[in-house]
Chains A and B, each alone.
Chain A
Amino acid sequence: MSIRYLIILAAALLCSSLAVAAPANPVCIVPSEPDGAFQLTCELAKEAIAATGDLPQPIVLERMPGGVGAIAFNVFTSTRRAEPGSLVAFSEGSLFNIARGKFGPHDWTDVRWLAVLGVDYGAVAVQDQAPWRTLPDLVEAIRAAPRSIAIGGSGTINGRDWMRAASLAKLAGADIRTMRFVAFEGGGDCMAALVGGHVQVCMNDAATTQKRIDRGQPVRLLAVYARDRLEGKLSGVPTAREQGFDIVWPVVRGVYMGSDVSDADYAFWADAFRKALAQPAYQNLLADNYLQPSPLIGDELIKFVREHAASAAKEREPL
């Protein structure tokens, strides 16, 4: 009688815990214009969680553009900070900006970091018919006539994308102050502008850019900021390192939750993601989206964010 009682109790507990934990209104916030990396992040989250079956309802995607995540960050540390079902997409750039205080008064400790879903690498995209074949070509062109080349990226000056452009320019010996930088609310917007010819270069990410190339958009990757050439379709893209520019820029993509989300809800989501990211189908999902796996969940992520924040705070701003 006691063993059976224990099994039934355990099963009941398990069931109840599962049944109590699932939050209502699961939402993933895309804090930018659609068709960018944040959208990709939320889509990945949606698919991954859906595959586990842990959530009765599918995750709904919600748009909240503004400051490439700044507005969303402020919302989820204030008015919506206790929503149990809301996940907010973030990237390494967001971490950088938060660490530098650019997202407002709240810092990285004010949200509950949940999970990193994958890693991307920064990349330089140009129009298909652009005259530059290699990164040095582009760099030379920038140095010769900086004002004639508009470089786009998400975020403002001293933001991540801009810093990538700036470091490139510095290596080229060009005056970064004479660069023409156009800020966008997300990689999707930059791509659209690139295609339209309003900017000549986009400081973007390899994954989102490749996806657009796949869709038939007339853009081309000039370089990728990875240590070694990536796998798959991206293997054809030379790294910046091999072209003489030693810049390596991994970009984590993940989600966080509001500051006052309960431990129980947070735990639910953490478990759900642990399960989701471990599934083999997820690896294929990543590969299809040109991302590398790098599962960091819960405490591991928090540790990572802490370390990142510490080093980011020390970085000097070029301008």
Chain B
Amino acid sequence: MARGKIKAEARSAGRSLLFTVTMWVAPALVALVAGTAFITGSTATNLADSAYDRSIAGALRAIDLNISTESGGIGVELPYPLFEAFEATASGAVYFRVATEDGMVEIGDSFLPRPRDFSGTGFHFYNDEFLGAPIRMGIFKRKLKQPLYGAAEPQTIVLQVAESMQSRDAFRFEIIKSTAALNLACVFAVIILLLAGLTRALSPLSALRAGFERRDPNDLSPVDASALPREIRPLVDTFNRLLGRHTAQAEAQRHLLDDASHQLRTPIAVLRTQIDYALHTSAAEERISVLQAMRKIVERASRTTTHFLTMARIRNFASDTAPDTHRPVDIKALLTELARMRLADARRQRVDLDLDLPDQDVYANGSEILIFEALSNLLDNAIRHSPKQGNITFLLEPSDGLLRITLIDQGPGMSQEMIDRIGERHLDPAHHREGAGLGLAVVVEVAQAHGGALTLRNRTEGGLEAALTLPSPATAAKNRTLTAS
């Protein structure tokens, strides 16, 4: 089941990655293409203009050089021979006009549009219209060196040369065409390379998926991450750690099962032997004693069964990080119920059972059954060892991030050796703990599975003090997420 989930995620990750990249890259590419097209267009225009304006400027200069004021008037040599050469290269008509700014002298096309808004001197180029077609207008303005006919200021002379835009436009179009073709080709190449690169980069994911599909469902061996891209390795490493934890848990489970099998089969074997013995005996007395012995074995087996079931439940709880197994448990209510349930037993020995509970509600995060089990074991222990008319007190103390449930009895206490053994982290079933030892081992396991602890202490005034610490809900959640990795 886990395998299938990984498969689906790998495939969908690949798909959405491509999609994501496309979503990011596509607008950029579109903008790029549009941008280059625009730039190409304006560059082409500028190039064309600069090239063609140059020749207009040349014509203007040539006309200017042929203006003579020697005679005291203005003599302009007709530029038609010049234009013949000009028109040979241009594929359109060329027009000219030379005039003084005061309008007294004029030569050339009278209806050529007057220069617009150009107040300075020197060259100026712009687009205009003449005879129904667009033209490029070149203007050259300068002041005469000497004023004519004794005027106060030298007059300004305005030269205009205009040509039709045909060849210029054709030239521009050529540039755009060739560059655009090149740009488009580049963009396509980029797209193809990108797609190819992405597919190639993502292929290890498909290989990973294929590898998972080939795997035996029960195969818990780690996945080889050496051939995968660096970015994926942490993911695979985490996954391998998860597998490792499962392997470890499976191991522990196997051990538990082996142990349970042994621990349960033995008493059953004993029982069978006892039954056979009883059946073989004719003496009624003998049979009765065998039956009594058998009852003891059954009780032992019952306890062992309970123990292993609890252990299994604890393992399940510890490994199961699903949020619904970890619920807030109302400890005050739990203690009260437990005390009520065991009160009859306690009162049989005339033992007082007191609860010192705080006013506010106290919650622990975890399994209600297991916590109840643990506390129940502690209480049973205390009741069993309590002297007649003794006192057993439950003390509930919440503190920062932890809550502490202390059970104080007035019994004989516990040997230090026992205390040390119970404090060992892992329950070793080979030690055949019986009775109190077994019950307390369960409490230790429950405590540790919840991220808490059990501490046992012989009180100076006599009796045993057993303190169970459990984390409160906020702390428990934090711990869980930390240990999950």
Direct contact, A vs B (beta carbon within 8 Å) = yes
A66, B108: Cα distance in complex, Å:
13
Give Cα A74 to B150, complex, Å: 8
Are the CB atoms of B73 and A66 closer together than 8 Å? yes
Within 8 A of A (CB), among B137-152: 148-151
Per-residue interface assignment for chain B, residues 370 to 391, with 1 indicating a CB less than 8 Å from any chain A CB and 0 otherwise = 0000000000000000000000
Q: Is there contact, CB below 8 Å, between B105 and A71?
A: yes
Report the contact-size class of chain A (Cβ under 8 Å from the partner): 35 or more
> Which of B73, B110, B131, B151 meets A183, CB within 8 Å?
B110
How does the 8 Å CB contact mask read for A112-127 relative to B, with 1 for contact and 0 for none? 0000000000000000
In the complex, A36 has a CB within 8 A of chain B: no
Question: In the complex, given contacts A63-B71, A74-B148, A193-B80, what are 8 additional A-B residue pairs having Cβ atoms less than 8 angstroms apart?
Answer: A64-B71, A66-B105, A67-B73, A77-B149, A78-B151, A180-B109, A181-B111, A182-B108
Contact with B along A178-193 (1 / 0, CB 8 A): 0111111100010011
Question: Chain B 26-43 against A: per-residue CB contact (8 Å), 1 yes, 0 no?
Answer: 000000000000000000
Nearest B residue to A153, CB-CB: B110
Chain B neighbourhood of A184, CB < 8 A: 78, 107
Give the shortest distance, in Å, between A32 (CB) and chain B (any CB). Answer: 9
Which B residues lie within 8 Å of A198 (CB)? 80, 83
Whether the pair A182, B150 counts as a contact (CB closer than 8 A) is: no
A residues whose Cβ falls under 8 Å from a Cβ of B: 31, 33, 62-67, 70-72, 74-75, 77-80, 102-104, 147, 150, 155-157, 162, 177, 179-185, 189, 192-193, 196, 198
Cβ-defined contact, A63 with B149, below 8 A: no
Identify B80's interface contact among A65, A80, A196, CB under 8 A.
Answer: A196
Number of B residues contacting the other chain (C-beta, 8 Å)?
26
CB neighbours (8 Å) of B131 from chain A are 147, 180
Inter-chain contact B73/A189, CB cutoff 8 Å:
no
Cβ–Cβ contact A65 & B149, under 8 A: no
Q: From residue 152 to 203 of chain B, which have CB atoms closer than 8 A to chain A?
A: none
Complex Cα spacing A196 to B80, Å? 8
Q: Within 8 Å CB of A155, what residues of B? A: 106
The interface residues of chain A lying within 8 Å CB-to-CB of B111 are: 157, 177, 179-181
A64 to B104, CA, bound (A): 14
Distance, CA A71 to CA B103, complexed state (A) = 11
* Nearest CB in chain B to that of A182: its residue: B109
Asked whether B73 lies within 8 Å of A75 as measured between CB atoms, the reply is yes
Contact of B148 with A66 in the complex, beta carbons under 8 Å: yes
Contact A62 B110 (CB under 8 A): no
Query: Are A66 and B150 closer than 8 Å at their CB atoms?
Result: no
Report how far A184 CA is from B75 CA in the complex, Å: 11
Q: Does B72 contact A (CB under 8 A)?
A: yes
Tell me the B residues contacting A by CB distance below 8 Å. Answer: 71-76, 78, 80, 83, 100, 102-111, 131-132, 148-151
Count: A-B pairs, CB below 8 Å: 99
Q: Nearest Cβ in chain B — how far from A30, in angstroms?
A: 9
Chain B residue at smallest Cβ distance from A146: B131
CA distance A162 to B104 in the complex (A): 15
> Could you tell me if B78 and A104 are in contact, using CB atoms closer than 8 angstroms?
no
Q: How far is it, in angstroms, between the C-alpha of A60 and the C-alpha of B34 when the chains are bound? A: 71
Let me know if A33 and B75 touch, CB within 8 A. yes
Indicate if the CB atoms of B78 and A71 lie closer than 8 Å. no
A75 touching B72 by the CB < 8 A rule? yes
Cross-chain contact A78 with B109 (CB below 8 angstroms): no
Nearest opposing residue in chain B for A62, CB measure:
B71
For this complex, 20 residue pairs linking A to B, each with C-beta atoms less than 8 Å apart, are A63-B75, A66-B104, A71-B72, A71-B105, A74-B104, A75-B72, A78-B151, A79-B149, A102-B104, A155-B106, A156-B103, A180-B109, A180-B131, A181-B109, A181-B110, A182-B110, A183-B106, A183-B107, A183-B110, A185-B76
- Across the interface, B149 reaches (CB within 8 A) one of A75, A102, A150, namely A75
How far apart are the CA atoms of A86 and B104 in the complex, in Å? 22
Quick check: B80 and A70 within 8 Å, CB to CB? Answer: no
Q: Using Cβ atoms and an 8 Å threshold, which residues of chain A touch B106?
A: 67, 155-156, 183
**A186 CB to nearest chain B CB (Å):** 10
Q: Are A65 and B71 in contact (CB under 8 A)?
A: yes
For the complex, give the distance between the alpha carbons of A317 and B237 in Å: 98
Distance to closest chain A CB from B78 (angstroms): 6
B104 touches A70 (CB 8 A): yes
What B residues does A33 contact at CB under 8 A?
A: 75
Most chain B CB inside 10 Å of its own CB: which residue of A74, A78, A157: A74
Closest 7 CB pairs of A and B: A66-B73, A74-B149, A71-B73, A79-B150, A66-B74, A64-B73, A75-B149
Interface residue from B76, B105, B107 paired with A70 (Cβ < 8 Å)? B105
Residue picked from A31, A63, A150, most chain B C-beta under 10 Å: A63
Q: How far is the CA of A79 from the CA of B83 in the complex (A)?
A: 37
Chain A residues positioned under 8 Å from B107 (CB to CB)? 183-185, 189
Would A104 and B104 be within 8 Å (CB), given that A65-B75, A196-B80 are in contact? yes
Once bound together, how far apart are the Cα atoms of A314 and B242, in whole Å? 111
> For the complex, what is the distance from the CA of A72 to the CA of B102, rounded to whole Å?
15
Q: A196 contacts which chain B residues (CB < 8 A)?
A: 80
Minimum CB–CB distance for B150 against chain A, Å: 4
Most buried by A among B71, B72, B76, B109: B72
The reply to whether A31 and B73 form a contact with Cβ atoms under 8 Å apart is yes
Alpha-carbon gap, A189 to B111, bound state (A): 19
A192 and B107 alpha carbons, distance in the complex (Å): 14
Instruction: State in angstroms the CA–CA spacing of A70 and B72 once bound together.
Output: 12
Min CB distance, B306 to chain A, in Å? Answer: 116
Closest to B103 in A: A156
Residue of B nearest to A192 (CB): B78
Taking CB atoms, residues of chain B closer than 8 Å to A77 are 149
A150 vs B111: C-alpha distance in the bound complex, in angstroms?
A: 11
Cα–Cα, bound, A212→B342 (Å): 146
Contact B104 A189 (CB under 8 A): no
Q: Are A185 and B75 in contact (CB under 8 A)?
A: yes
| CA A172 to CA B100, docked complex, whole Å | 33
Contacts of A185 in B (CB 8 A): 75-76, 105, 107
A102 to B99, CA, bound (A): 14
Nearest CB of chain B from residue A89's CB, rounded to whole Å: 13
Q: Given A31-B73, A75-B72, A180-B111, are A67 and B80 also a contact pair (CB < 8 Å)?
A: no
Query: With A33-B75, A183-B110 as given contacts, are A78 and B104 in contact (CB-CB < 8 Å)?
Result: no
Q: Could you tell me the distance between the alpha carbons of A157 and B103 in the complex, rounded to whole angstroms?
A: 10
Closest to A30 in B: B71
B105 adjacent to A67 (CB under 8 Å): yes
Which A residues are in CB contact (< 8 Å) with B83? Answer: 198
> Smallest CB-CB separation from B148: which chain A residue?
A71
Nearest B residue to A157 by beta-carbon distance? B110
Residues from chain A with Cβ under 8 Å of B102 in the complex: 104
Q: How far is the CA of A193 from the CA of B108 in the complex (A)?
A: 11
Min CB–CB distance A107 → chain B (angstroms): 15
B73 to A65, Cβ gap below 8 A? yes
Q: How far is the CB of B29 from chain A (nearest CB, A)?
A: 48
CA distance A150 to B96 in the complex (A): 13
Tell me which residues across on chain B come within 8 A of A183, comparing CB atoms.
Answer: 106-110
Residues of B within 8 A of A75 (CB): 72-73, 148-150
User: Complex Cα distance A127/B418, Å?
Assistant: 137
Selected contact of B104 from candidates A103, A181, A182, CB within 8 Å: A103
Contacts of A78 in B (CB 8 A): 149-151
A74 CA to B148 CA, complexed, in Å: 8
Q: Report A148 CB to chain B, min CB distance, Å.
A: 9
How far apart are B135's CB and chain A's nearest CB, in angstroms?
13
A103-B104, A180-B111, A181-B109 given as contacts; is B76 within 8 A of A64 (CB)?
no
